[in-house]
């Protein structure tokens, strides 16, 4: 009886999910813009992918170290980057048969980048010149969670809300969304719905006041997964998802002046002339993917592999339509190993088996919209298909385990960034790559405490 | 029975070991100056002097510089000891700058993050320094305590310039009666004379801190009123005043996981009003804030020698600021980027403990406050805002 009890306990302990943070999933190859989780690796970050996962992470405090994030044009619009992480975190507590939670500061990178794209062209140019006229990003976001187990599986719901205003710049922004999720023993499904976004701002240019607005329409992120192969040591998961978001952007100011010239190389070297368009134009993006991810467990280690087909495209319907498309087939091989009782090490390599980009008319986008497009889709190809080069990316991470408390982080990051094989000094030269520095123990640190 | 006593003693010691210092308060998202409304910590004696009856027999030193501004990134050198003597407790604390909050631009300007309007100080006043706090408390059925804060300094100048003087006298009184506690901290005098002119003067204008708290199961309900105010007289002219009041009403919850682990949660409505007065209508600045900060933190003994803690706080749902400058229309806005993650550690060496913030970069005091390198754990900067405390 005692032996049975011990075995049950050991099994229960081994079934405790590998609870961790953004750093863990990034070290294992996650490349999602919003770091919302993995479709085949179990992790507490997955609550932002499928909120039903909250049922696996009750009685947990999560802290993601960071600050205000990386300025995207101005400090009113910021993104969460590896070297300039955004502070966030929350608590999840079991209540009766369910789990309640609150998570703070989990603003979306996608939302920030789209607001950058949707900023009026003159506002963006004013920002470039040293002002701050970008549309404001979502700020002080609150995520409220509730989940429960039922006869058909675990379910969860998450309501997202962020609002801000600044009467001095006649700026206002509001965003709200809801996530719905369901999961069972071998499958899961979710629907994450952006129910509304409105961002607007007015700036004066001498006698001219320019109004800019970004109005989001219904946004959907639908997806699911199925464990097609499952044994004691191996799980193979088929998954798929589609994200779609459309918006209207209004610019009363029209194109930027033809005499602005190019930005200096240090600021991207982009031309600032004749960007934007007066009036309201539609924009939209679509991302979908189908993939297969596997997890093979052997002793204290786990091997992760993944292959997927991913298609993402975006367009803003100016007269000269700005559009970008990436099609990639990345393969990921990752590992995680319990090196000692207090140290877990992990790493991955990601590489595109096939990948091309097909972009056009970046010149129509405002200055910072152009930068966002370069960042997410690569440089303008004038409508031609161009292979994506140098896609190989190696990452590594570690967890320091102190019983119910864990510290996660990326390791091997020598400078300010979090990717060990893609550091540059801004001039395109790689520097300090492949180095394990003792003074920089971990980057993008997260703390998880189970109580 | 003996075993129970031993276990209880061990549990008490283990719990006590984490009670200390500004770094701990900051890591848990609390106020570093006067401590927490609901978390037991040695800093709380600066809010409620009667807390001296609950934490004593220790020496604490806060690392820093004597003339620092006393923030997380520029800590002030200070420290003291607290000791039990029969049925009484007493303490001596050196270098506290707890109410040394004079501002040149005025409280309202500081709140809105801009400058303008009047000046409320000037360079050249005798700085407040060599502060001394004396504590005394006892338990007569009701725990009581008193604190006297004293600072006095002067500098003679060649004639015709007059001698520069600075003096501060504050009184703190507190009581803890069962689940109820109450306190008052009042500035009796805090003034500086002579700067660039002999009749320059800077004097306190009724600064005080009053509050009450009530423990109910694992919850603590609290109300706190804090006023900072002073007047500035420039070369014998009419005095101009600046003031700030903060009213906090909230509740804190502690979930004890074990004797060495706990989770903290608090939420409070915080109403701040600041006014920079002026004889010129266009220079009067008023700022009002309404906030609802939510804080979640934890603290646990990671190993026998290491305690780790962390917290996140953010304004939720109520988060606004109204600014009125002179006769212009009032402008309202949201406060930006209120999300704040902090982390800290204590190195435990028996009765000696070393506290600090961790994950801090570029000399800042929070887990990645600097825009660059945010979220990084560097070993060459093991801890910041370090404090050492020894329990005897």
Q: What is the CATH number of the domain that holds B34?
A: 2.40.160
Nearest C-alpha in A relative to B263: A451
Question: B215 to chain A, minimum CA–CA distance in Å?
Answer: 22
Cβ proximity of B70 and B102 under 8 Å: no
**pLDDT value of position A13:** 37
Smallest Cα distance from A361 to chain B, Å: 33
Which of the residue ranges A164-173, A416-425, B63-72 has the most confident prediction, judged by mean pLDDT? Answer: A164-173
Give me the total of CB pairs closer than 8 Å, taking one residue from chain A and one from chain B. 170
β-strand partners of B334: B320
Partner-chain contact A67 B374, CB within 8 Å: yes
The confidence score (pLDDT) of residue B163 equals 95
Domain containing B193 equals 2-391
What is the percent of chain A with per-residue pLDDT over 90, rounded to a whole number? 68
Q: Which chain B residue has the Cα nearest residue A142?
A: B316
Average pLDDT over residues A318-344: 96
Angle made by CA atoms A214, A215, A221, in degrees to the nearest 5? 110
Residue in A26, A67, A72, A139 to test binding to B, most B beta-carbons within 10 Å:
A67
Lowest mean pLDDT among A23-27, A338-342, A419-423, B312-316: A419-423
How far apart, in Å, do the first and last CA atoms of chain A sit? 28
Looking at residue B173, its pLDDT comes to 98
User: Is residue B367 very low, low, confident or very high in pLDDT (cuts 50, 70, 90)?
Assistant: low
- φ, ψ (nearest 5 deg) of residue B255: -105, 110
Of the candidates A296, A328, A314, the one whose C-alpha atom is nearest the C-alpha of residue A393 is: A328
pLDDT of residue B372: 52
Chain A residues closer than 8 Å to B296 by CB: 61, 89-91, 102
- Per-residue confidence band for A9, with pLDDT thresholds at 50, 70 and 90: very low
Contact A443 B316 (CB under 8 A): no
Of B339, B369, B371, Cβ closest to residue A104? B339
Q: Model confidence at B370, in pLDDT bands (50, 70, 90)? A: very low
Binary contact (B371, A84; C-beta < 8 A):
yes
Could you tell me which chain A residue has the CA closest to the CA of B339? A105
The residues, any chain, with a CB within 8 Å of residue A291's CB and separated by 6 or more, are: A39, A40, A238, A239, A240, A306, A307, A308, A309, A310
Does residue A8 have a pLDDT over 60? Answer: no
* Predicted-assembly ipTM surpassing the 0.90 threshold: no
pLDDT the model gives residue A2: 44
> Tens of pLDDT along A352-399?
999 999 999 999 999 999 999 998 999 999 999 999 988 888 889 999
Q: Where is average pLDDT lowest: A52-66, A203-217, B76-90, B97-111?
A: B97-111
Nearest residue on chain A to B322, judged by CA atoms?
A167
Is the CB of B333 less than 8 angstroms away from the CB of A444? no
CB A334 within 8 A of CB A297: no
Return the pLDDT at B5. 42
Write the residue in A85, A405, A438 that is nearest to B308 by C-beta.
A405
**Distance from B330 to chain A by nearest Cα, in Å?**
9
- Contacting residues of B for A83, CB less than 8 Å apart: 372-374
Q: pLDDT (tens digit, 9 = 90+) per residue, B174-183?
A: 999 999 999 9
Judge residue A147's burial from the number of C-beta atoms within 10 Å of its C-beta, 0-12 exposed, 13-18 middle, 19 or more buried. buried
**Both ends of chain B: CA-CA distance in Å?**
26
Residue B340 banded pLDDT, cuts 50, 70, 90: very high
Whether the pLDDT of residue B374 is over 90: the answer is no
Substitution target from A60, A87, A100, A417 for chain B, most B beta carbons within 10 A: A87
Q: CA of B316 to nearest chain A CA: how many angstroms apart?
A: 7
pLDDT greater than 60 at residue B16: no
A415 or A177, greater pLDDT: A177
Does the distance separating the beta carbons of B341 and A66 come in below 8 Å?
A: yes
Three-class secondary structure assignment of chain B: CHHHHHHHHHHHHHHHCCCCCHHHHHHCCCECCCECCCCCCHHHHHCCHHHHHCCCCEEEEECCECCCCCCCCCCECEEEEEEEECCEEEEEEECCCCCCCCCCCCHHHHHHCCCCCCCCCCCCCCCCCCCEEEEEEEECCCEEEEEEEEEEEEECCCCCCCCEEEEEEEEEEEEEECCEEEEEEEEEEEEEECCCCCCCEEEECCCEEEEEEEEECCEEEEEEEEEEEEEEECCCCCCEEEEEEEEEEEEEEEEEEECCEEEEEEEEEEEEEEEECCCCHHHCEEEEEEEEEEEEEEEEECCCCEEEEEEEEEEEEEEEEEEEECCCCCEEEECCCCCEEEEEEEEEECCEEEEEECCCCCCCCCCCCCCCCECCEECCCCCEEEEEEEEC
Instruction: Report chain A residues whose CB lies below 8 A from the CB of B375.
Output: 64-67, 85, 87, 443-445
> Which of B300, B341, B379 minimises the CB distance to A87?
B341
Q: Are A93 and A101 in contact (CB under 8 A)?
A: yes
The region of weakest confidence among A78-92, A183-197, B253-267, B321-335 is A78-92
Position with higher pLDDT, A369 vs A413: A369
Number of domains comprising chain B: 1
Does the beta-carbon distance from A61 to B296 stay under 8 Å? yes
Q: Which of A290-294, A435-439, B355-359 has the highest mean pLDDT?
A: A290-294
Please report residues of A whose CB lies closer than 8 A to that of B287. Answer: none
A contact test, residue of B73, B300, B341 with most A CBs within 10 A? B341
Shortest Cα distance, chain A CAs vs residue B279, angstroms: 25
Which range among A277-281, A438-442, B56-60, B141-145 shows the weakest confidence by mean pLDDT? Answer: A438-442
Q: Do A140 and B372 touch (CB under 8 A)?
A: no
Which of A71, A140, A444 is nearest residue B338 as measured by Cβ atoms? A140
B373 closest CB neighbour out of A78, A87, A416: A416
The pTM (predicted TM-score) of the whole model is 0.90
Contact list in A for residue B317 (CB cut-off 8 A) is 142
Residue A181 above 80 pLDDT? yes
The verdict on a CB contact (< 8 Å) between B379 and A142 is no
Q: Scanning every residue of chain A, which has its alpha carbon at the shortest distance from the alpha carbon of B332?
A: A167
Our CA-based measurement puts residue B370 at a distance from the nearest CA of chain A, in whole angstroms, of: 7
Closest residue on chain A to B261 (Cα): A451
Residue A402 C-alpha, separation from nearest chain B C-alpha, in angstroms: 5
Task: With CA atoms as reference, report the closest residue to B107 among B278, B248, B244.
Answer: B244
Cβ separation of A404 and B373 shorter than 8 Å?
no
pLDDT at A429 over 60: no
| Region at B217 (left for phi over 0; alpha for psi -120 to 50; beta for the rest) | left
Cβ-based contacts of B265 with chain A (< 8 Å): 91
A405: nearest CA partner in chain B: B302
Q: What is the pLDDT of residue B361?
A: 67
A112 interaction partners in chain B (CB closer than 8 Å): none
Q: What is the pLDDT of residue B378?
A: 83
Considering only CB atoms, B300 lies closest to which of A86, A91, A449, namely A449
pLDDT digits (tens, 9 = 90+) for B143-166: 999 999 999 999 999 999 999 999
Average pLDDT over residues A132-144: 93
Mark yes or no for CB contact A104/B334 under 8 Å.
no
The residue of chain A nearest to residue B328, with distances taken between CA atoms, is A168
Q: For the segment B323-337, what is each residue's pLDDT rounded down to a tens digit?
A: 999 999 999 999 999
In three-state secondary structure terms, A363 is: helix
Query: Nearest-CA distance from A202 to chain B in Å?
Result: 15
Residue to mutate among A26, A66, A92, with most B CBs inside 10 A, is A66
Contacts of A71 in chain B (CB under 8 A): 371
Cα of B226 to nearest chain A Cα, Å: 26
For an interface test with A, which of B116, B303, B309, B312 has the most A Cβ atoms less than 10 Å from its Cβ? B312
pLDDT in the model for residue A414: 62
Determine, for residues A63 and B312 on separate chains, whether the beta-carbon distance falls below 8 Å.
Answer: yes
Pick among B340, B343, B376 to test the A interface (most A CBs inside 10 A): B376
In this predicted model, what pLDDT tens digit does every residue of B199-249 receive, in sequence order? 999 999 999 999 999 999 999 999 999 999 999 999 988 899 999 999 999
Measured between beta carbons, the chain B residues lying within 8 angstroms of A402 are 300, 302-303, 306, 308
The H-or-E segment that residue A214 falls in is strand A208-230
Distance from CA of B238 to the nearest CA of A (A): 32
Confidence of residue A19 (pLDDT cuts 50, 70, 90): low
- B57 pLDDT more than 80: yes
């Amino acid at each position: 009886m005692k032996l049975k009890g011990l075995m049950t306990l050991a099994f229960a302990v081994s079934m405790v999910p590998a609870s961790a943070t953004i750093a863990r999933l990034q070290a294992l190859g996650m490349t999602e813009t919003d770091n919302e989780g993995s479709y085949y690796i179990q992790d507490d970050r997955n609550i932002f992918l499928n909120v039903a996962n909250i049922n696996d992470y009750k009685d947990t405090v999560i802290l993601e170290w960071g600050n205000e994030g990386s300025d995207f044009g101005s400090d009113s619009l910021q993104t969460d980057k590896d070297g300039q992480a955004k502070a966030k975190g929350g608590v999840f507590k079991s209540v009766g048969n369910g789990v309640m939670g609150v998570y703070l500061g989990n603003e979306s990178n996608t939302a920030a980048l789209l607001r950058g794209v949707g900023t009026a062209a003159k506002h963006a140019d004013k920002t470039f010149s040293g002002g701050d006229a970008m549309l404001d990003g979502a700020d002080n976001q609150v995520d409220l969670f509730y989940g429960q187990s039922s006869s058909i599986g675990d379910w969860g719901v998450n309501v997202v809300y962020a609002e801000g205003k600044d009467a001095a710049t006649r700026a206002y922004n509001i965003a709200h969304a809801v996530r719905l999720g369901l999961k069972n023993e071998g499958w899961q499904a979710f629907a994450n719905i952006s129910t509304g976004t409105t961002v607007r701002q007015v700036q004066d240019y001498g006698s001219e006041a320019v109004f800019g607005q970004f109005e989001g329409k219904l946004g959907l992120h639908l997806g699911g997964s199925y464990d097609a192969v499952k044994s004691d040591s191996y799980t193979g998961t088929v998954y798929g998802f589609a994200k779609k978001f459309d918006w209207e952007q209004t610019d009363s100011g029209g194109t930027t002046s033809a005499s602005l010239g190019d930005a200096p190389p240090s600021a991207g070297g982009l031309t600032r002339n004749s960007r934007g368009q007066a009036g309201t134009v539609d924009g939209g993006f679509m991302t979908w993917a189908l993939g297969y991810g596997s997890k093979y467990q052997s002793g204290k280690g786990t091997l992760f592999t993944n292959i997927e087909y991913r298609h993402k495209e975006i367009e803003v319907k100016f007269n000269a339509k700005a559009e970008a498309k990436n099609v990639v087939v990345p393969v990921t091989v990752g590992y995680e190993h319990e090196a000692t009782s207090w140290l877990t090490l992990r790493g991955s390599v990601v590489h595109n088996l096939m990948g091309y980009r097909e972009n056009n008319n970046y010149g129509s986008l405002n200055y910072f919209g152009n930068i966002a497009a370069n960042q997410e889709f690569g440089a303008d190809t004038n409508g031609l298909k161009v292979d994506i080069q140098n896609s190989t990316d190696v990452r590594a991470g570690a967890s320091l385990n102190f019983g119910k408390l864990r510290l996660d982080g990326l390791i091997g990051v020598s400078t300010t960034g979090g990717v060990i094989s893609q550091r540059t000094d801004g001039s395109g030269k790689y520097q300090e790559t492949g180095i394990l520095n003792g003074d920089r123990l971990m980057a993008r640190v997260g703390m998880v405490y189970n109580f | 029975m003996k075993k129970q006593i031993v276990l209880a003693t061990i549990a008490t010691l283990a719990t006590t070991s984490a009670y200390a210092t500004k770094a701990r308060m900051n890591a848990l998202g609390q106020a570093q100056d006067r401590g927490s409304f609901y978390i037991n910590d040695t800093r709380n004696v600066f809010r409620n002097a009667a807390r001296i009856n609950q934490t004593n027999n220790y020496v604490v030193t806060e690392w820093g510089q004597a003339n620092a501004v006393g923030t997380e990134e520029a800590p002030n050198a200070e420290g003291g000891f607290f000791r039990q003597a029969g049925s009484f407790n007493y303490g001596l604390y050196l270098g506290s700058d707890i109410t040394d909050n004079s501002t040149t631009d005025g409280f309202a300007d500081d709140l809105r993050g801009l400058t303008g309007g009047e000046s409320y100080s000037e360079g050249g006043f005798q700085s407040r320094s060599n502060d001394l706090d004396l504590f005394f408390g006892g338990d007569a059925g009701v725990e009581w305590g008193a604190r006297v804060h004293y600072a006095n300094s002067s500098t003679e100048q060649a004639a015709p310039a007059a001698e520069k003087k600075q003096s501060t006298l504050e009184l703190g009184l507190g009581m803890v009666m069962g689940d109820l506690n109450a306190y008052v901290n009042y500035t009796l005098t805090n003034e500086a004379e002579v700067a660039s002119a002999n009749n320059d003067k800077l004097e306190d204008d009724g600064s005080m801190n009053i509050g009450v708290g009530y423990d109910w199961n694992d919850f603590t309900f609290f109300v706190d009123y804090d006023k900072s105010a002073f007047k500035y007289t420039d070369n014998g002219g009419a005095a101009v005043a600046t003031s700030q009041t903060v009213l906090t009403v909230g509740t804190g919850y502690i979930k004890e996981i074990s004797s060495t682990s706990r989770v903290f949660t608090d939420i409070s409505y915080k109403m701040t009003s600041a006014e920079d007065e002026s004889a010129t209508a266009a220079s009067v600045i008023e700022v009002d804030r309404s906030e609802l900060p939510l804080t979640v933190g934890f603290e646990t003994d990671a190993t026998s020698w290491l305690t780790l803690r962390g917290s996140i706080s953010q304004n939720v749902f109520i988060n606004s600021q109204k600014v009125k400058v002179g006769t212009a229309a009032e402008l309202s806005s949201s406060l930006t980027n209120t999300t704040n993650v902090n982390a800290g550690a204590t190195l435990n060496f028996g009765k000696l403990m070393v506290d600090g913030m961790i994950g801090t970069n570029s000399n800042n005091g929070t887990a990645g406050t600097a825009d660059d390198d945010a979220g990084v754990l560097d070993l060459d900067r093991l801890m910041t805002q370090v404090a050492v405390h020894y329990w005897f």
